[in-house]
Amino acid sequence: MNNHSVLRVVSKFMIPYILLFALYVQFHGDFGPGGGFQAGVIFAAAFILYGLIYGIENARKVLPATATRILLALGVILYAGVGFAGIYFGGNYLDYNVLAATATGGQHLGIFLVEFGVGTTVAATMVTIFFVFSGQDF
List contacts with another protein (CB under 8 A). 69-70, 72-74, 76-77, 80, 83-84, 86-87, 90-97
Residue 52 or residue 77: which is nearer to another protein going by CB?
Answer: 77
Q: Where are the alpha helices (DSSP H) in 1-35?
A: 5-27
Residue 20: what residue type?
L
Least spacing, CB of residue 129 vs another protein, in Å: 14
Least spacing, CB of residue 20 vs another protein, in Å: 28
Residue 11 or residue 36: which is nearer to another protein going by CB?
Answer: 36
Residue 17 or residue 93: which is nearer to another protein going by CB?
Answer: 93
Q: Where are the alpha helices (DSSP H) in 28-138?
A: 36-54, 56-62, 65-88, 103-134
What are the distances in angstroms from CA 15 to CA 20, 22, 53, 110? Answer: 9, 11, 11, 30
Least spacing, CB of residue 99 vs another protein, in Å: 11
Give the span between the Cα atoms of 64 and 113, in whole angstroms: 25
Closest CA to 63 of 46, 78, 76: 46
Residue 3 or residue 66: which is nearer to another protein going by CB?
Answer: 66
Least spacing, CB of residue 8 vs another protein, in Å: 34
